[in-house]
Chains A and B, each alone.
Chain A
Amino acid sequence: MLTTDRVAGVALALIALFVLVESRRLPLGTLQNPGPAYMPILLAVILGAAGIFISVFGGSAPTLDSVGWSEWRHAVAILVVCSFSALALERLGYRLTVACVLAFLVAVVERKPVVLAIVFAVGIAAGSFYLFDTLLRVPLPRGPFGL
């Protein structure tokens, strides 16, 4: 039966395996004089062992089906929006990016009135830019037309 611990344990073991494979590119050193790969390999072995133990003894954990995933659509939308902001921040500038992000989240994801979404998005984008960039002199990226 697929339980949360079994799935998580296998995932941790796979991460450990990935680290072990990737660490082959680095010098291991010796037990007395550890190289750059020494600590990652040691930690990967610990993580892998822990993952296997968690997986083996994880039969009594809740099943995967019993975990509620009702909010997954929102979660995916937010992750997509975050990805967009990471891609756009230095291309479109802070204000445009933030305004787009907020307008999308409020109007499309939360289905609030469009006017409210636009006012909110522009207000937060311009206000936070003014506070941090203009008043506090924290340089925030500008986009086309100095926006």
Chain B
Amino acid sequence: MIETLQNLYLGFTVALSPPILLYAFVGCVVGTLVGVLPGVGPLAGISLLLPATFGLDATRAIVMLAGIYYGAMYGGSTTSILMRIPGEAASVMTCIDGYAMARKGRAGAALAIAAVGSYIAGTVSVIGLMVLAPPLAAFALRFGPPEYFTLLLLGLLVLAYMSGGSMLKALAMAALGLLLGMIGIDQMTGYFRFAYGVVELGDGIGVVPVAVGLFGLAEILATAGLETPPAVIKPRLRELLPSRQEWRDSAWPIGRGTVLGFLIGIIPGSAHIISSFVSYAVERRLSKRPEEFGHGAVAGVAGPESANNSATSGAFVPMLALGVPSGPIPAVMLAAMMVHGVSPGPLLIKQQPELFWGFIASMYVGNIVLLILNLPLVGVFVNLLRVPYPLLYPAILVFCILGVYAVNSSVVDVWIMLAMGALGYLLRKFSFETAPIVLGVVLAPMLEMSLRQSLAMSDGHYAIFLQRPIAATLLGVGVLLVLLSLRPLVTRTLDWRARLALAEKGES
């Protein structure tokens, strides 16, 4: 413990030096802007700005890129709450209740809860990263292909079960997303699947064009022609204070979101996205008033926002401790570190303690910077959104195109975004949730690979999923969820999802 504190002291001497502080601040500001601008999420933002760090030394570059990452996590909530457009994919769940709160005149409170929740989650999870990284990383190492397969399967079932309304529709959307994720080269055999000669599709469909299309472009398509376009709700500083009841209602969701996000963050996958989905689902499940979700429940903002920020730190655990990226964003960060001559892994802490502990300490500093940015200065960022909608949406559209194009310098991604935008628009009209599609696209390659690897390990015996304790437990939970969803058919009573659907019908 004393050694940890000594190391942290070393880290703070690095992080509080003016140049590092400056780059952490710049990273946070740029990250917040990246998060605020719909379509330019953290992945695109980090990818866009990676070349801009080539002239910096390793510590400054990594501190700045990390600032962009968690700055985008913070900033993504702003457009979600004020415009129902997620700044980045992890803010999708915040759109639902954040925007509903804003329409009820509680935009300031929603922003404050999101910022405070993100701050608490960010700070606590950095402590987790610092103290628990080695044993947690060791636990994640025990996950083999069967455990991954059952975990991913469980993730999809949890998402479908927790979706309001029809579980069948959510499962159909997840299946559609998984099918989209099948496009590209089959990693085990090298076959091109559904690519139709388009070379760029060899690597599969990227999550960025899918998420931007389904959420950014679809939103623009649905709202641009409305006679009364979506008002950008303009919170005043004095409206930022949540009520006592709102603080009470968000305390536990923030706590749960922090723990959940950190734990999910360690597990490979798009943790910051998955964690916000799972957190939202858990909060709705635990709520005494699930019917309020979708209509401005403060827990629906506090939980997911805390979870996605916590997951950001969690995702750094395997990357820093093992040199294994846990998702696309840590993968880009890993590449950035390698560009700067840093090799993350167990030896990093010993060989470059200034970098490792300076990075950890800069995350504490960054969280404070972001809290300052997101509360009093939220009005400054919101000014971006006060431009009249007929001028704002064309500009957002351009940033969507720019952000999607810049990730791979490929117009194919722009076409994918276009197709996903049209699909998302129709699905919105037909009352289908599009979030499971994004999750499906992210999970598809991992799901398929882990299934086939599991079968290769067991000579084709499916019993491997029952013979390994962790996999069997995860599978058992999944079966339980399916049975729970069937219970209303047997008992002929209404479960919480049916009640929610009825409540929604009654309101519309």
Binding site for B on A (CB under 8 A): 4-5, 7-8, 12, 15, 19, 22, 26-27, 30-37, 39-40, 43-44, 46-47, 50-51, 53-54, 61-62, 67, 69-75, 78-79, 81-83, 85-87, 89-90, 94, 98, 101-102, 105-106, 110, 112, 120, 124-125, 128, 132, 135-141
Contacts and interface: CB of A to CB of B under 8 A. Distances in A.
Counting contact residues on chain B (CB < 8 A from A), the size range is: 35 or more
B236 interface: no
A5 B429 CA distance: 11
Contact of A27 (B169, B191, B414, B452): B191
Contact of A4 (B417, B430, B459): B430
A58 to B, nearest CB: 10
Interface string B381-425: 000000000110111011101100110010100110110011001
B225 A137 contact: no
Contact of B172 (A47, A94, A125): A47
A85 B414 CA distance: 8
A34 B451 contact: yes
Contacts of B455: 32-34
Contact of A74 (B179, B224, B427, B459): B224
A89 B430 contact: no
B448 interface: yes
B178 A89 contact: no
Given A34-B455, A101-B401, 6 more contacts: A27-B189, A71-B222, A78-B220, A98-B402, A106-B390, A138-B48
Nearest to B416: A86
The winner among A7, A15, A34, A78 for most chain B CB atoms within 10 A is: A78
B496 interface: no
A31 B462 CA distance: 9
B227 interface: yes
A40 B405 contact: no
18 contacts: A4-B430, A27-B189, A33-B456, A46-B172, A54-B168, A75-B225, A78-B220, A78-B397, A79-B221, A89-B405, A89-B414, A94-B402, A101-B397, A101-B398, A120-B391, A138-B51, A138-B52, A140-B402
A137 B56 CA distance: 14
Nearest to A32: B460
Contact of A102 (B172, B227, B394, B452): B394
A37 B182 CA distance: 9
Contact of A67 (B223, B429, B460): B429
A79 B176 contact: no
Interface in B170-207: 171-172, 175-176, 178-179, 182, 186, 188-189, 191, 193-194
Contact of B175 (A4, A47, A136): A47
Given A71-B222, A79-B421, A86-B415, A40 B179 contact: yes
A101 B400 CA distance: 13
B431 interface: yes
B247 interface: no
Contacts of A53: 168
A54 B394 contact: no
Interface in B454-508: 455-456, 459-461
Contact of B460 (A22, A30, A43, A110): A30
B452 A136 contact: no
Is chain A's binding surface mostly helix, strand, loop or mixed? helix
A138 B244 CA distance: 46
Contacts of A83: 418
Contacts of A73: 225
Contact of B191 (A26, A102, A124): A26
A50 B182 contact: no
B267 to A, nearest CB: 21
A19 B179 contact: yes
B105 to A, nearest CB: 25
B397 A36 contact: no
Nearest to B50: A138
B406 A40 contact: no
A40 to B, nearest CB: 5
Contacts of B179: 15, 19, 40, 43-44, 47
A70 B223 CA distance: 10
B52 A136 contact: yes
Given A44-B179, A50-B168, A82-B217, A138 B406 contact: yes
A136 B401 CA distance: 17
B191 A50 contact: no
Contacts of B415: 86
B364 interface: no
Leading 6 A-B pairs by shortest Cβ distance: A32-B460, A74-B225, A71-B225, A50-B172, A110-B390, A36-B186
B48 A105 contact: no
A70 B401 contact: no
B49 interface: yes
A101 B401 CA distance: 11
B156 to A, nearest CB: 11
Contacts of A72: 225
A102 to B, nearest CB: 5
A25 to B, nearest CB: 9
A26 to B, nearest CB: 6
The winner among A36, A124, A128 for most chain B CB atoms within 10 A is: A36
